[in-house]
């Protein structure tokens, strides 16, 4: 039975130039050789037996075999009953990671794993420990699955805090990408890293310019075609034509397309996302990044997209390559096609709406103004604000009159008289409109052209007719000849009277 502790000694660890700790020796001095023990015959002296135990260890070390050592010393013989040497070893562990390939291991299989260590739970603070390249001279690399083993790893750091380990693949087999079990970025101990053929994504932004109401044109679907070619060349892969469509229906969607790829039955995830009422971003995912040519060389694909046709016969579209990566590398020109992260802009031409006014008939006034109500846009796309317009005259040599028409909630009121035409320029093709004339008593209105519809350089003509029976004479303009005769006679009499009054004032008879 062990008694209480008699003495304690601490040995300071001393390291040699290789970092290994040199042996130390502890001597317990002035220990009693005998002690008195009471027996039936009375007190007797007996030899002492001492036990020595290592109770603390140098940081990062532990007793060999991870078991505490108890040593005994018999004072009667001055011999130890067991070896009094205590051996400490570093606290060590191992880490392994498996590697495989899908669908199968390629002939040029290789891998470089990097081991990291960290304390606690913050993986972002992990620090590199070492790299291991495969294939190497250790272990079997002929199997479809390889295993990399990192051995003799410290279990704790210099502060005796437990260490955690993770591994990443830093150099995949050419043409492959690494996928990790349980995490997107690293593998834990006994984890598996799988290499699969490298994939890439392609994105393009499609937008509209000069759109009424800043909204995707109703009922218009854009048709695109994704193409590819070996990077750095001008050719096109004849076996790859991926048709894409962008309906612009105002929703974000994820859907599968690609069964119509020429010469293939591949299916690719296609997503498009609404970035604004007139801008959509289209993305095609999981595209093959590389292929092997006839000489066995690994070649990267370059993807690009074209808009198949104009959305309307009278529309135009342009391509702007906004990819920084593209601008900084020597690639073959795309000749109007959009590369990855490119921009396709569809522009509808500007058009005008014209409203013309004429009158006819014996009692129609050429000087009277007639009121019109014009609406442009509908729903959330109603036109608002001051719109520069032009009034033209049928009269030869008459100047154009530039005016501003104020639209409120899509509606404005203007006045025109005989021979005038209101021109509302720079409207987006397809803008909805309507034109109505306020009825005037005595006039009959006739409309030529559509008084409502979509603007496309339309002209709407209003003819107001007013006829009546003239008592005498021939109608001249809008005043009868008899009326003119009466007016002339009255004017002549007034002139004679004025002259007579002038003579009286001057004394003439």
pLDDT, one tens digit per residue, over 85-117 is: 677 777 789 999 998 888 888 888 888 999 999
Coil, helix or strand at residue 179: strand
- How far, CA to CA in Å, does 127 sit from each of 134, 198, 265, 417? 21, 27, 45, 86
Which range marks the domain in which residue 336 is found? 199-347
Please give the tally of structural domains in the chain. Answer: 4
Q: What residues pair up with 355 in beta bridges, in sequence order? A: 422, 460
Among candidate residues 197, 224, 259, the one where a domain is terminated: 197
Please report whether residue 230 resides in a domain. yes
Among candidate residues 347, 370, 391, the one where a domain is terminated: 347
Mean local confidence (pLDDT), 132-143 = 63
Rounded to whole angstroms, the Cα distance separating 201 from 270 reads 10
Please report whether residue 497 resides in a domain. no
Average pLDDT, the chain: 76
What pLDDT does 299 receive? 92
| Choice between 422 and 31, residue whose per-residue pLDDT is larger | 422
CATH code at position 459: 2.60.40.1140
Please report whether residue 423 resides in a domain. yes
Please report whether residue 490 resides in a domain. no
Contacts of residue 507, defined as CB under 8 A and 6 or more positions apart, other chains included, come to none
What pLDDT does 502 receive? 53
What is the band of 301 on the pLDDT scale with cuts at 50, 70, 90? very high
Q: Which two tokens stand for residue 433?
A: 């409109």
List, for residues 437-477, the tens digit of each pLDDT value.
999 999 999 999 999 998 888 999 999 999 976 655 554 44
Nearest one of 403, 398, 396, 393 to 366, comparing CA atoms: 393
The percentage of residues in the chain with a pLDDT greater than 90, rounded to a whole number, is: 29
DSSP annotation of 40: T
Mean local confidence (pLDDT), 48-69 = 68
Please report whether residue 488 resides in a domain. no
Rounded to whole angstroms, the Cα distance separating 51 from 7 reads 11
DSSP letters for 423-470: EEEEEETT-EEEEEE---TT-EEEEES-SEEE-SSEEEEEEEE-----
Cα 152 to its chain centre, rounded Å, is 46
Q: What residues pair up with 254 in beta bridges, in sequence order? A: 271
Please report whether residue 397 resides in a domain. yes
Highest mean pLDDT among 177-186, 241-250, 281-290, 432-441: 432-441
Please report whether residue 476 resides in a domain. no
What pLDDT does 337 receive? 76
Whether residues 19 and 101 share a domain: the answer is no
- Residue pair 385/405 in contact by the 8 Å Cβ criterion: no
Is the backbone peptide bond immediately before 259 cis, with ω within 30 degrees of 0? Answer: no
Burial of 344 (0-12, 13-18, 19+ CB in 10 A): buried
Rounded to whole angstroms, the Cα distance separating 229 from 261 reads 15
Mean local confidence (pLDDT), 314-342 = 49
Mean local confidence (pLDDT), 480-496 = 56
Rounded to whole angstroms, the Cα distance separating 473 from 480 reads 6
What pLDDT does 18 receive? 54
Whether residues 459 and 367 share a domain: the answer is yes
Rounded to whole angstroms, the Cα distance separating 473 from 484 reads 10
Among candidate residues 295, 324, 347, the one where a domain is terminated: 347
Instruction: Name the maximum alpha-carbon separation found in the chain.
Output: 192
List, for residues 391-407, the tens digit of each pLDDT value.
999 998 899 999 999 99
Whether residues 157 and 179 share a domain: the answer is yes
Residues in the chain: 509
Rounded to whole angstroms, the Cα distance separating 165 from 97 reads 11
Nearest one of 472, 494, 499, 497 to 485, comparing CA atoms: 472
Residue 8 host element (H or E): none
Residue 194 backbone dihedrals phi, psi, to 5 degrees:
-110, 130
CA Rg, the chain, in Å?
49
- Residue pair 199/288 in contact by the 8 Å Cβ criterion: yes
Whether residues 203 and 75 share a domain: the answer is no
- How far, CA to CA in Å, does 136 sit from each of 120, 147, 148, 352? 33, 11, 10, 76
Whether residues 186 and 316 share a domain: the answer is no
Mean local confidence (pLDDT), 328-339 = 48
What stretches of 75-215 adopt beta strand conformation (E)?
A: 79-80, 88-90, 92-101, 111-118, 127-134, 146-154, 164-171, 176-180, 191-197, 199-209
Whether residues 427 and 456 share a domain: the answer is yes
Whether residues 193 and 213 share a domain: the answer is no
Sign of CA dihedral 438, 442, 443, 444: positive
What is the band of 33 on the pLDDT scale with cuts at 50, 70, 90? confident
Please report whether residue 301 resides in a domain. yes
Whether residues 221 and 328 share a domain: the answer is yes
Angle, alpha carbons 305-271-289 (nearest 5°): 55
| Choice between 55 and 262, residue whose per-residue pLDDT is larger | 55
Burial of 132 (0-12, 13-18, 19+ CB in 10 A): middle
């Amino acid at each position: 039975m062990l008694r209480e502790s008699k003495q304690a000694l601490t040995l300071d660890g001393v390291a040699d130039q290789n970092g290994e700790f040199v042996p130390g020796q502890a001597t317990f001095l002035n220990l009693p050789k005998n002690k008195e023990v009471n027996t039936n015959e009375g007190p007797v002296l007996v030899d002492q037996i001492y036990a020595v135990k290592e109770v603390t260890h140098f940081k990062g070390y532990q007793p060999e075999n991870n078991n505490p050592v108890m040593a005994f010393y018999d004072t009667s013989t001055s011999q130890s009953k067991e070896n009094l040497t205590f051996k400490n070893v570093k606290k060590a562990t191992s880490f392994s990671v498996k590697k495989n390939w899908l669908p199968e291991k390629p002939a040029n299989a290789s891998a470089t794993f990097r081991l990291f260590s960290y304390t606690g739970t913050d993986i972002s603070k992990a620090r590199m420990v070492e790299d291991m390249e495969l294939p190497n001279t250790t272990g079997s690399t002929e199997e479809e699955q390889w295993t990399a083993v990192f051995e003799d790893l410290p279990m704790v750091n210099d502060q005796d805090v437990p260490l955690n380990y993770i591994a990443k693949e830093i150099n995949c087999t050419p043409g492959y990408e690494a996928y990790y079990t349980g995490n997107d970025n690293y593998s834990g101990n006994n984890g598996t890293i799988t290499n699969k053929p490298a994939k890439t994504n392609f994105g393009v932004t499609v937008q509209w310019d000069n759109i009424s109401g800043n909204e995707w044109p109703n009922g218009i679907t854009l048709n695109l075609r994704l193409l590819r070619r070996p990077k750095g060349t001008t050719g096109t892969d004849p076996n790859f034509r991926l048709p894409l469509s962008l309906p612009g229906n105002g929703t974000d969607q994820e859907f599968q397309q690609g069964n119509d790829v020429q010469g293939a039955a591949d299916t690719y995830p296609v997503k498009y996302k609404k970035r604004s009422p007139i801008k959509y971003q289209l993305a095609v995912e999981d595209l093959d990044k590389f292929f092997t040519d006839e000489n066995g060389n690994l070649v990267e694909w370059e993807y690009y997209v074209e808009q198949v046709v104009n959305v309307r016969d009278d529309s135009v579209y342009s391509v702007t390559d906004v990819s920084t990566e593209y601008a900084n590398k020597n690639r073959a020109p795309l000749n109007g096609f959009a590369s990855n992260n490119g921009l396709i802009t569809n522009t509808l031409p500007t058009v005008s709406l014209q409203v013309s006014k004429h009158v006819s008939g014996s009692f129609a006034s050429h000087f009277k103004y007639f009121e019109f109500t014009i609406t442009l846009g509908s729903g959330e796309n109603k036109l608002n604000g001051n719109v520069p317009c032009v009034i033209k005259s049928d009269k030869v040599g008459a100047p154009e009159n530039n005016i501003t028409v104020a639209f409120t909630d899509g509606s404005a009121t203007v006045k025109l008289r005989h021979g005038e035409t209101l021109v509302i320029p720079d409207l987006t093709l397809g803008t909805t409109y309507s034109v109505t004339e306020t009825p005037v008593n005595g006039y009959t209105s006739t409309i030529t052209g559509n008084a409502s519809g979509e603007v496309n350089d339309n002209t709407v003509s209003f003819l107001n007719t007013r006829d009546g029976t003239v008592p005498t004479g021939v109608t001249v303009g809008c005043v009868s000849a008899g009326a003119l005769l009466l007016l002339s006679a009255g004017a002549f009499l007034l002139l004679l009277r004025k002259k007579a009054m002038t003579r009286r004032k001057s004394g003439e008879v």
